A and B are shown apart, each in its own frame.
Chain A
Amino acid sequence: MAWEYVVNGINGAIKLVVNGDPELVDIAIRSVKVSGIAAVLAAIIGVPVGVVLGLSRFKGRGLLKSIFNALLGIPTVVMGLILYLFLAPAGPLGFLGLLYTEMGISFGQMLLILPIVISFTVSSIESVEREIRDLALTLGANKIQIMFKIVEESLSGIVLSIIAAFNRAVAELGIALMVGGNIFVRGGGLNTRVLTTSIQMYVARGEIDYALALGTILIAIVFTITAISNYLQKKWVGYD
């Protein structure tokens, strides 16, 4: 019994993945899409904020940094609950109509991963800043040129932060479940079922092979993205 269960589950998973079960593919694509949008949004907002925070010196900067650092570990269930209350039609942001939509999940995940992008951007800027500033000054560069050089040098760290943010978004369950609602209609255009929510649903229903198949895909996505980012970094930086 004991191992048979696991082996059967993995067998079923492989079969489903190999056969390209359309429902499975649909869910996987939605996961990447929703979390990808979240990562892009977080980058658009987070990178500029991180660059400013990393380059400037003002009162309260340390406090701001530690707030973002603290928010790195915010539990996704709490985030999901707060977002649900805000986005419900009776809530303050209800008029946006985001609850139980793909956009709602993207929005929530964007808020979740924003601190990751900001914090990592700040630290990668700080790590190259002093060296470059001194060097560039001795070479007679002006302020703007220095700024661009610093951002350029910390680019690989910034990209890494966005990748890490995407991985957190695609793997989280709390927001996807509470804001997304795990909606699935065959042939429907407004489904919100993603990998994590369907895994928990199939586990609850006892359909372990499906859950395992989806889990395999989720891990594959995370590994692939990480591998690509590693490759790009090597290429850019030019050493291992």
Chain B
Amino acid sequence: MKRLAIAIVTVLAILVLGVGYQYHIQSQHRVLTISTTTSLYDTGLLEEAIAPTFKEKYGIELHFIPKGTGAAIQDAKNGVSDAIMVHARSKELKFMEEGYGVNRKVFAYNFFVIVGPRDDPAGIKGLTPVDALKKIAQAGREGKAIWVSRDDGSGTNTKEIALWKMAGFDYSKIKNESWFVSTGTGMGATLNYANTKKAYTLSDTGTYLKFRKEGLIDLDALVDKGEELINVYAIILINPEKFDKDFEGAKLLVNWLTNEEGQRIIGEFGKNRFGKPLFYPIVDVLREKKEPYFSWIAKYGLIEDDGEVTECPEKFRYGKEMTFFEFEKQ
């Protein structure tokens, strides 16, 4: 009996000490939890390039939780994250209008691509994105092509829905047609699926290039031109009046991401491995109004506010220490 009691007390003591130690470790580290899109995460940019440098510089650990843009926003609404990194302007705006997000800054851009099998059964190579989708739908209905959709509320999925709309299709209706397949997963998994099925899909260039160069997929980038395909990544801070998160730390991250060093790291990531960068730094393009990208970013990545276009409309700005790009509306 006595032995049993001693054993129980010992185990309990170890437990209490263990839990206490864990909390102690947790309090020792300054951590920012960032909910992010899979397209940023799957390329390795965040964990391999951004997190280590930022930690070295400020001693803050970045914890990235990769989800689709929709899920990342939901995460933030549950009070999990200190900031979100996403790419779906309409959803970002809603997130800020609901009072959760403030101080949106754009930090990188690249392009979406429509990828598909090399023999290109729908014949879309070199077309504009809208014409390409029309052809794919036609070929699909004839049983000659398959389209794969993320269908996960992600930024890529949001872009896809918008593109289908421009092509004159209602996403919620064509979704039910037999040539239209939904995966409901991240970009990498969707590319793998499209590769196996010899299907077409919309991808961000970063993930596509990585998968292509590493020989994981055999799909060609068939449509990669057109302003509709621009893909603008933004970071949004959590409104400190909504949740008590590390607002100051998140601000450090935003400022670092958009300063010279952060922009250089974004622009250089993957250059050696893939022959060209996976993401392009955005700040210089905006500052120097480099055309044509400047107009495209202004049209698809910035937000209208009282006759101007800006990264973050004035009513969603918090505090005074951050600056935002503002341009006359063209």
Contacts and interface: CB of A to CB of B under 8 A. Distances in A.
Given A190-B31, A204-B189, 4 more contacts: A41-B15, A90-B243, A189-B29, A204-B42
Given A183-B65, A204-B42, A206-B188, A89 B80 contact: yes
Interface stretch (B56-64, B172-180, B257-265): B56-64
Interface string A151-182: 00000000000000000000000000000011
Given A40-B11, A204-B42, A206-B192, A89 B243 contact: yes
A204 B216 CA distance: 11
Q: Which of A88, A91, A97 has the most CB of B within 10 A?
A: A88
A99 B243 CA distance: 15
Nearest to A91: B78
A188 interface: yes
Interface stretch (A55-63, A65-73, A100-108, A119-127): A100-108
Interface in A60-100: 85, 88-91, 94, 97, 99-100
13 contacts: A37-B18, A44-B8, A97-B26, A100-B33, A100-B65, A100-B80, A183-B63, A185-B51, A185-B55, A189-B25, A204-B38, A206-B188, A206-B211
B15 A184 contact: no
Contacts of A182: 65-66
A235 interface: no
Interface of A: 37, 40-41, 44, 85, 88-91, 94, 97, 99-103, 181-190, 203-206
Interface in B9-30: 11-12, 15, 18-19, 22-23, 25-26, 28-29
A204 B186 contact: yes
A142 B216 CA distance: 70
A186 B12 CA distance: 32
B168 interface: no
A8 B8 CA distance: 50
Given A44-B11, A89-B243, A190-B29, A185 B78 contact: no
A184 B41 CA distance: 12
Interface residues of B, number: 42
Contacts of B29: 188-190
A183 B75 CA distance: 15
A89 B77 CA distance: 10
A187 to B, nearest CB: 8
Contacts of A99: 80
B226 interface: no
A184 B22 contact: no
Chain B interface SS verdict (over half): helix
Contacts of A89: 78-80, 243
Contacts of A205: 42, 188
A185 B29 CA distance: 12
Nearest to A181: B65
Contact of A94 (B11, B51, B77, B79): B79
B79 A90 contact: yes
Contacts of A97: 23, 26
Given A100-B63, A185-B61, A88 B11 contact: no
Contacts of B26: 97, 101, 190
A146 to B, nearest CB: 14
Interface string B22-53: 11011011010100001000100001000110
A186 B47 CA distance: 8
Contacts of B66: 182
A189 B28 contact: yes
Contacts of A190: 25-26, 29, 31, 61, 63
A206 B63 contact: no
A89 B78 CA distance: 6
B28 to A, nearest CB: 7
A190 B8 CA distance: 29
Given A189-B25, A190-B26, A205-B42, A183 B79 contact: no
B128 interface: no
B110 to A, nearest CB: 18
Contacts of A40: 11, 15
B47 A88 contact: no
Contacts of A187: 52, 55
Q: Which of A44, A101, A185, A187 has the most CB of B within 10 A?
A: A185
A185 B211 CA distance: 23
Nearest to B18: A37
A47 B261 CA distance: 56
Contacts of B306: none
A37 B52 CA distance: 29
Cβ-closest 10 pairs across A and B: A89-B79, A206-B216, A88-B78, A90-B79, A204-B188, A183-B63, A204-B189, A90-B78, A181-B65, A188-B61
B214 interface: yes
